[in-house]
Amino acid sequence: MSLEIKSLHAQIPGREILKGLNLTINPGEVHAIMGPNGSGKSTLSKVLCGHEDYEVTSGEVLLDGENILDMAVDARSRAGLFLAFQYPHEIPGVSNANFLRAALKARLPKGEDIDAVKFYKQLYARMDQLEMDRSFTSRSVNEGFSGGEKKRNEILQLMMLEPKYAILDETDSGLDIDALKIVSRGVNAMRSENRGFLVITHYQRLLNYIQPDIVHVLKDGRIVKTGGKELSLELEERGYDWVVEEPLAAAA
Amino acid sequence: MPSAPSDTPTGLLTISPTALSVAPDWFSTRSNAAWTEFQALPLPGLKDENWRYSNAKKIELSDHAPAQTPTAEQSKAALAATEGLKERAARFVFVNDTLVESDTNGLPAGVVCVSFEGALKTHADVLQQHFMKADQALGSSKFAALHLAHLKAGTVIIVPKDVVIEKPIEVFHWVVGDHAAIFPHTLVVTGDNAQVSVVDHYRSLEGEGGLSIAIADLVGGSGSKITYAACQELADDAQALHLSSITAGRDASVKSFQVQLGASFSRSESVSDLVGQGARSDMLSVSLPIGDQVVDQRTLQRHKAPHATSDLLYKNALYGQSRSIFSGLIIVDEGAHYTDAYQTCRNLLNSNEAEATSLPGLEINADQVKCSHGATSGPISDEELFYLKARGISDSESRKLIIEGFLAGVVERFGNSELLDSLVARIDEKLERAV
C-alpha cells in the first residue's frame, strides 16, 4: 500500500517538465516537496490528477499497486487521490453543498444516494473545524470567496471525501497567518496512519504548522535531495542554489 | 433550404375562424378585420430583419388546424396531468382552447380573474382599452392577426389599485391532437400599487405535434408589480410562438420570464415599453435546446420615459445540432434621460454542432444614459470541468452540474421558490435526456 511515482516523465508540447521523478508515499506519512519556481511542483500535482494539458511520456504512478495513469480524472479521485488546488475554480450557480453531495454520490454504487441528514451533520462539523460560516453551504462553489476562503473550502472537500492520498498544492499561498493556522489544523485533523500526504510548498512557513516526516527538494523536474524536516529549515535559510543533486536520489 | 409549400394553401391558411358566440360587436369587428389582415399580409421573408437567421416557414400554418373541442377523456387526462403549484391564488386549465377548470378561491376581493370569453361579457371596457393595443414591432404581425382571428381562450386578470395578490395565478394551456393549433391569450392589468404574479404553461397532452400561437400583454399601473412566466414545454415536434408586450407605468416593476423547453421550433418576441418615470422591466429567459430544436428569441427594450431601468438576461444551453438565435434591441427615446438599460445573452455550447447566433443592438437618443449589451458564446470551461472531475464526479455529471448552475442564475433572479423548484426539476429532467 503506497502511492508510488516511478521515473515519471511529463511534458507540455515542446518542453519536458518532469524528468524522471521518483517518490513513494506510504500511508501515515507526510511528505513535503519544496523547490524553486519552475521546478515542476505544480506540474507534478496536475499530472498525478490527470490534467490533459500535460502528457506523460514515460513512467508509472501506482496507487496501492494500481497504475492510475490510464485512469480518467474522475476515476483517479474515486480511487482515493485528492488534490487541494493552488487556484480553486469558481463554479457559478452550483452550491457548495450540492457539489459535495455530487462528489460523495459519485462514490456510491449507481442508483444509491447519500443520507442527507448524515451528510449535513458531517458537513457542519467539518465546517466548524475550519471556522467556516454555514452560509458557505448554499453559496456557489468558490464564487466570490476570498483567497483564504477558497483554501479552507479545499480542505473542507478533503475532509468530506477522506482520500487515501492527498496532495496539497501551495495551500499556503495567499493565506494570512490566522487562515494558515485554521487550514493547517484541518489538515492535521485528517492525518492518520491510513492516509498519506504530499505537501507542495514554496515556503517553509507552512511546514511549521503541518510538520512533515520527509522533505524533498525538486529541481528541474527531479527530486535532488531528500531529508527530514530540518531540511526545510535549511532551505528557508540558504535558498535552493546550494542544493546539488545527490547521485543516490537521482538513481533511486 | 426547406421545400417550397404546395401550391394549394391549406390548414390555418384557409380555414375560416369560427366566431365566438358571445362576442360583442366591437370584438367581432376586430376579429374579422384580423382575418382579412392575416390573409393580406405576406409571410415574413428571409430578408426580413426580424427573421434573420430564422425562418417563418418553421411555423407550419398549412399543416395545422384549429384544435377540436376536447373529449371528456382528454379533459380528464389533462386535469390529471396538471400538477401545478400548491401555493396558488387561482388556477385555470384550458384544453384545446376550451376552459375545463377554473379555481379562483384564493383571490382577494375585487380582483378580476376570468376566462377571456367571460371578460368579453363583463369587462369589455378594460378589453377595449388594453386588448392587443401594442404594435407587433418584432416581425409577427401576420401571426398576431391569426391569433386574434381565432382567439377563444385565455385569461384576463385585472388587479385593482392597492390590491396585493401574494400567491401566483397559474394557467395551463394543453394542446391535444395531431396538427392541432391553439391561440392562448393573457391580459394582465394592474392598478396603482397592485401586485400580481402569473404563470402560463404551454403543454402537449400527448407526444404529438401541435402549434401554439400565444399572446401575453402585461400593463403595469403606477407603482405596481407584475411577475410573469411563460413556460413552454410542448412536445418535441410541436411549434410555439409567444408574443408578449409589457407596458410599465410610473415606478411600475415588471419581471417576465421565458422558459423554452419544448417544441422543435419556438420563437418568443418580447417587447418592454417603459412609459413612466422610474419604471423597471426585468426580462429573463432560459432555454435548453437539444437534438435539432431551434429557439428563436427577439427582444426590444423601449425607453420612453426618464429614470427607467430595463435589465435583460437570456441564457441558452445548447446540445446536439440545436440552434439559438437571439436578437435584442435597446431603444432610448429622446428625452428618456437617466436611462439604465442592460442586455446580456449568454450561450453555453455543449456540442461542436450546436450553433448560437446573437445580434445585440443599441439606439440611444438621450443623455445621461447607462447602457450595456453583451453576448457570449462558448463551451464549458475546461478548468471548471477539471475541477469537478478532480473530485470524482463523472464527465457527464460534471457537465450537468455546470449547466444547471449556468441556468440557475436566471431562474433564481425570477424569485418564487416553489415555481423555481419545479422549473429546476423540469430543467434537470431535460438535462437527463440531453447529457
| Residues of A with Cβ-Cβ distance to B435 under 8 angstroms | none
| Residues of A with Cβ-Cβ distance to B402 under 8 angstroms | 91, 94
Q: Are B206 and B93 in contact (CB under 8 A)?
A: no
What band does B83 get if pLDDT is binned at 50, 70 and 90? confident
**Does this complex have an ipTM over 0.90?**
yes
Give the residue-averaged pLDDT of B97-122: 95
- Quick one: closest CA in B to A107, which residue? B392
| Residue B427, CA atoms < 13 Å, CB-side half-sphere | 28
Q: Centre a 10 Å sphere on the Cβ of residue A4 and count the other Cβ atoms it contains.
A: 17
Give the residue-averaged pLDDT of B41-62: 94
Q: Centre a 10 Å sphere on the Cβ of residue B265 and count the other Cβ atoms it contains.
A: 22
Kindly state the cell numbers that stand for B352. Answer: 461542436
The neighbouring-strand residues paired with B154 are: B185
User: B207 and chain A: CB distance < 8 Å anywhere?
Assistant: no
Portion 401-430 of B in contact with A at CB < 8 A = 401-402, 404-409
pLDDT exceeds cutoff 70 at B304: yes
> Looking at residue B177, what is its pLDDT?
92
CA B35/CA B20 separation, integer angstroms: 14
- Give the structural domain span for B218: 11-379
- In degrees and rounded to multiples of 5, residue B72 shows phi and psi of -60, -40
CA B156/CA B84 separation, integer angstroms: 19
pLDDT exceeds cutoff 60 at B4: no
Looking at A9-13, A189-193, B404-408, which range is the least confident one? B404-408
pLDDT mean across residues, chain B? 93
Contact A103/B391, CB-based, under 8 Å? yes
> Looking at residue B435, what is its pLDDT?
63
- Quick one: closest CA in A to B412, which residue? A93
* More confident: B402 or B206: B402
Q: Out of B392, B398, B407, whose CB is closest to A107?
A: B392
- Quick one: closest CA in B to A90, which residue? B384
> Mind listing the pLDDT tens digit for each residue in B235-252?
999 999 999 999 999 999
> Looking at residue B416, what is its pLDDT?
66
Highest-confidence segment of A45-49, B9-13, B406-410: A45-49
| Cα first-last separation, chain A | 19
Give the residue-averaged pLDDT of B150-156: 96
- Residue A161: left if φ>0, alpha if ψ -120 to 50, beta else—which one? alpha
What band does A245 get if pLDDT is binned at 50, 70 and 90? low
| Residues of A with Cβ-Cβ distance to B386 under 8 angstroms | 49, 51-52, 73, 89
Q: Are B31 and B148 in contact (CB under 8 A)?
A: yes
- Quick one: closest CA in A to B384, which residue? A89
What band does B130 get if pLDDT is binned at 50, 70 and 90? very high
User: A62 and chain B: CB distance < 8 Å anywhere?
Assistant: no
Q: Are B267 and B52 in contact (CB under 8 A)?
A: no
CA A98/CA B35 separation, integer angstroms: 53
> Looking at residue A89, what is its pLDDT?
94
Give the residue-averaged pLDDT of A123-141: 95
Q: What residues have CB less than 8 Å from B294, skipping those under 6 apart?
A: B54, B58, B264, B265, B266, B322, B323, B324, B325
Instruction: Work out how many domains chain B is built from and give that number.
Output: 1
User: A92 and chain B: CB distance < 8 Å anywhere?
Assistant: yes
What band does A204 get if pLDDT is binned at 50, 70 and 90? confident
CA B65/CA B43 separation, integer angstroms: 17
> Looking at residue B134, what is its pLDDT?
85
User: A102 and chain B: CB distance < 8 Å anywhere?
Assistant: yes
Give the residue-averaged pLDDT of A161-180: 93
- Quick one: closest CA in A to B389, which residue? A74
CA B392/CA A161 separation, integer angstroms: 9
Q: Out of A77, A98, A140, whose CB is closest to B390?
A: A77
Per-residue CA distances from A190 to A186, B244, B404 (Å): 7, 57, 32
The conformation of residue A244, written as its DSSP 8-state character, comes to: -
Q: Which residue is associated with the grid cell 441558452?
A: B316
Give the total residue count for chain A.
252
Residue range(s) of every CATH 3.40.50.300 domain in chain A = 1-29+40-71+185-252
CA B371/CA B375 separation, integer angstroms: 14
Tell whether domain A1-29+40-71+185-252 is in CATH 3.50.50.60: no
Give the residue-averaged pLDDT of B371-386: 94
| Residues of A with Cβ-Cβ distance to B397 under 8 angstroms | 102, 106
Give the residue-averaged pLDDT of B143-170: 97
> Mind listing the pLDDT tens digit for each residue in B335-345?
999 999 999 99
- Quick one: closest CA in B to A78, which residue? B392
| Residues of B with Cβ-Cβ distance to A83 under 8 angstroms | 390
Task: Tell me if residue A75 falls in helix, strand or coil.
Answer: helix
Q: How would you write chain B as a 3-class SS string?
A: CCCCCCCCCCHHHCCCCCCCCCCCHHHHHHHHHHHHHHHHCCCCCCCCHHHCCCCHHHCCHHHCEECCCCCHHHHHHHHHHCCCCCCCCEEEEEECCEEEEEECCCCCCCCEEEEHHHHHHHCHHHHHHHCCCCCCCCCCHHHHHHHHHHCCCEEEEEECCCCECCCCEEEEEEECCCCEEECCEEEEEECCCCEEEEEEEEEECCCCCEEEEEEEEEEECCCCEEEEEEEEECCCCCEEEEEEEEEECCCCEEEEEEEECCCCEEEEEEEEEECCCCCEEEEEEEECCCCCCEEEEEEEEEECCCCCEEEEEEEEEECCCCEEEEEEEEEECCCCCCCEEEEEEEEEECCCCCEEEEEEEEEECCCCCEEEEEEEEECCCHHHHHHHHCCCCCHHHHHHHHHHHHHHHHHHHHCCHHHHHHHHHHHHHHHHHHC
Kindly state the cell numbers that stand for B65. Answer: 388546424
* More confident: B69 or B134: B69
Chosen from B380, B381, B387 to mutate, greatest number of chain A CBs within 10 A: B387
Contact B395/A72, CB-based, under 8 Å? yes
User: B395 and chain A: CB distance < 8 Å anywhere?
Assistant: yes
| Residues of B with Cβ-Cβ distance to A165 under 8 angstroms | none
Portion 54-113 of B in contact with A at CB < 8 A = none
Contact A99/B402, CB-based, under 8 Å? no
Q: Out of B394, B407, B408, whose CB is closest to A74?
A: B394
pLDDT exceeds cutoff 70 at B434: yes
> Looking at residue B409, what is its pLDDT?
82
Q: Are B328 and B360 in contact (CB under 8 A)?
A: yes
| Residues of B with Cβ-Cβ distance to A48 under 8 angstroms | none
- In degrees and rounded to multiples of 5, residue A4 shows phi and psi of -110, 120
Looking at A98-102, A205-209, B76-80, B210-214, which range is the least confident one? A205-209
pLDDT exceeds cutoff 60 at A251: no
B25-40 vs B141-150: helix crossing angle, rounded to 10: 140
| Residues of B with Cβ-Cβ distance to A94 under 8 angstroms | 401-402, 404-405, 408
Q: Out of B382, B393, B407, whose CB is closest to A74?
A: B393
Give the residue-averaged pLDDT of B201-226: 94
pLDDT exceeds cutoff 50 at A200: yes
Cα-Cα-Cα-Cα dihedral sign, residues A216, A218, A221, A224? negative
Smallest CA-to-CA distance from B94 within B176, B157, B21, B165 is with B176
| Residues of B with Cβ-Cβ distance to A88 under 8 angstroms | 387
Looking at B105-114, B157-166, B182-191, B404-413, which range is the least confident one? B404-413
Q: Out of B389, B401, B404, whose CB is closest to A73?
A: B389
Cα-Cα-Cα-Cα dihedral sign, residues A138, A141, A147, A152? positive
What band does B3 get if pLDDT is binned at 50, 70 and 90? very low
CA A248/CA B363 separation, integer angstroms: 73
CA B189/CA B218 separation, integer angstroms: 6
